[in-house]
Amino acid sequence: MAKDKKVEQITDMDVDFTQWYTDVCTKAELIDYSSIKGMFIYRPYGYAIWENIQHILDAEFKKLGHENVYLPMLIPESLLQKEKDHVEGFAPECAWVTYGGSDKLEERCCIRPTSETLFCEHYKNIIHSWRDLPKLYNQWCSVLRWEKTSRPFLRHREFLWQEGHTMHATEEEARAETQRMLNVYANFMENTLAMPVIRGRKTDKEKFNGAEETYTVECMMHDHKALQGGTSHYFGDGFARAFDITFTGKDNQLHHPFQTSWGVSTRMIGGIIMTHGDNSGLVLPPKIAPIQVMVVPVAQHKEGVQEAALKLLETLRSAGIRADIDLSDQTMGWKAAQYEMKGVPIRLELGPRDIENGVCVAAKRTGDKVTVPLENVADTVSSILDDVQSELYAKALKNLQENTFDAHSVEEVRDGCAKGGFARMMWCGDEECEVKMKEQAGVTSRCIPFEQHHIGDICPVCGKPAKHMVIWGIAY
């Protein structure tokens, strides 16, 4: 009964997916609302997921030679104005500081929506010779964009992210970096977050402001809508020219360096929720779960049960498994529902009869129960965690594959995506046709995928020869 009561607090995801999502964010104790619209409180459990993401990605960045830095959060307006396309794209979302204490500032400052201009100002001061390149920098910080609408994790006014900013001596090096970092994101999302992705290039209409090319990893959520998981941008030497960044090359001539930037944010947590969650709550991939195993003693008032459960906990922790124990006086039904709600991958139950038999029972968040011998329990539990990780990826991949379809007309895209899913359709490359797709089918281009399929020879919008196959969908 306790379990049923707990589950009833969550809206059925097939009835109202939006409300289900909000319920999970709050009832799994990931996030809370603040007194400022669009600014959220990351609760310990939600922030712990971000810490795990940060820890894993940071190690990957450093393996590739990137160094962490931290730049100011305020950008003088004159600095922001140096790159015209860039500032025009962010101007509607900028928040401005005009006073310091009681004194009006001589120049208003923008709270960073992103940091390209700050990095360029710094690079101008430290890049002089080809020996100073490449510069491989990354920053973990918060940024602020004054969004009109907000949703937990998906769209905050202030959100947490990482932003990589690199400078290279040649175009080839910069392009290789752009692709390399996109692959880092794609591999992380698939192997760690258990979220299959589509890798591709954004259209010119959808690319990052100031970039020559933007590459993306696109994910499909449970409701078949798209979520942009992360982006990697090739800037060419446009910013370097705008900020007059030059270096003396090996040929003893002055050159402009070539630039990239790339980033992911806490919206990945929203992606995890919407990819793996169910009507019992959150479902976390073991690799980023703050608690991988919750030990739950059964009939803990009986002699020896708590002691055996604590010993089991220590065994798991000694093996590097993120484990915890619940010694509270709540009912077993409440505990089962609570840790299902919070998405803990494995609940290990241990009672008097289990102790006598030298076993415990592993309840997997993905559904079934397995009897586990206490001998070599850590190895067995590690194997079960791997199974849970694989099951989550397989389920998400099936969702992506079964809900991606070929379309030969605007109507097919409109009708198919209205039901949910990604449409593959040929496109001539003209922005006019891209705009018409949004107007007539209610979709946006997600990407021009690297893996192209020949669906036809013409663009169904205008009838002209097609250049690309594009993924279209409705996105968060």
396 contacts: CB under 8 Å, gap ≥ 6: 194, 195, 196, 220, 275, 276
* CATH code of domain 404-473: 3.30.110.30
Distance between alpha carbon 73 and the CA centroid of its chain, in Å?
22
For 227-262, the pLDDT digits (tens) are 999 999 999 999 999 999 999 999 999 999 999 999
Percentage of the chain modeled with pLDDT above 90: 93
For 12-68, how does the pLDDT look when each residue is reduced to its tens digit (9 = 90+)? Answer: 999 999 999 999 999 999 999 999 999 999 999 999 999 999 999 999 999 999 999
Mean pLDDT (whole number) for 144-170:
96
| pLDDT(442) > 90 | yes
Query: With bands split at pLDDT 50, 70 and 90, how would you rate the model's confidence at 177?
Result: very high
| pLDDT given at position 8 | 55
What average pLDDT does range 160-183 have in this prediction?
A: 98
Provide the residue type at 4 as one letter: D
What digits encode the pLDDT tens for the residues 94-137? 999 999 999 999 999 999 999 999 999 999 999 999 999 999 99
pLDDT at 4 over 70: no
pLDDT of the residue at 7: 43
- Domain 293-387: give its CATH architecture: 3-Layer(aba) Sandwich (3.40)
Please state the rounded mean pLDDT for residues 258-286. 98
User: What average pLDDT does this structure show over 296-317?
Assistant: 95
Query: What is the distance of C-alpha 31 from the center of its chain?
Result: 16
Cα dihedral 186, 190, 194, 199 sign? positive
Average pLDDT over residues 134-159: 96
Summarised one tens digit per residue, pLDDT across range 359-406 is 999 999 999 999 999 999 999 999 999 999 999 999 999 999 999 999
pLDDT at 9: 82
> What 3 state SS string does the chain have?
CHHHHHHCCCCCCCCCHHHHHHHHHHHCCCEEECCCCCCEEECHHHHHHHHHHHHHHHHHHHHCCCEECCCCCEEEHHHHCCCHHHHHHHHHHCCEEEEECCEEEEEEEEECCCCHHHHHHHHHHHCCEHHHCCEEEEEEEEEECCCCCCECCCECCEEEEEEEEEEECCHHHHHHHHHHHHHHHHHHHHHCCCCCCEEEECCCCCCCCCCCEEEEEEEECCCCCEEEEEEEEEEECHHHHHCCCCEECCCCCEECCEEEEEEEECHHHHHHHHHHCECCECCCCCCCCCCCEEEEECCCCCCCHHHHHHHHHHHHHHCCCCEEECCCCCCHHHHHHHHHHCCCCEEEEECHHHHHHCEEEEEECCCCEEEEECCCHHHHHHHHHHHHHHHHHHHHHHHHHHCEEECCCHHHHHHHHHHCCEEEEEECCCHHHHHHHHHHHCCEEEEEECCCCCCCCECCCCCCECCEEEEEECEC
Task: List the chain domain ranges.
Answer: 8-276, 293-387, 404-473
Q: How far is CA 302 from the centre of its chain?
A: 45
What pLDDT, on the 0 to 100 scale, is given for residue 6? 45
**What pLDDT does residue 60 have?**
98
pTM of the model: 0.95
Q: Kindly tell me if the per-residue pLDDT of 1 is higher than 60.
A: no
What is the reported pLDDT for 3? 39
Distance CA 171, CA 236 (A): 7
**pLDDT tens-digit series, residues 448-475:** 999 999 999 999 999 999 999 999 999 9
What's residue 82's pLDDT? 84
Q: Is the pLDDT of residue 352 over 90?
A: yes
The whole-angstrom separation of Cα 282 and Cα 277 is 5
For tokens 């003893």, the residue is 252
Taking the C-alpha atoms of residue 342 and residue 289, their distance in angstroms, rounded to an integer, is 10
Q: Which CATH class is domain 8-276?
A: alpha beta
Q: What is the mean pLDDT of residues 143-156?
A: 94
First to last CA, the chain: 36
- Mean pLDDT score of the chain: 95
pLDDT band at 296 (very low <50, low <70, confident <90, very high): very high
Distance CA 261, CA 259 (A): 7
Could you tell me the maximum CA-CA distance found in the chain, to the nearest angstrom?
81
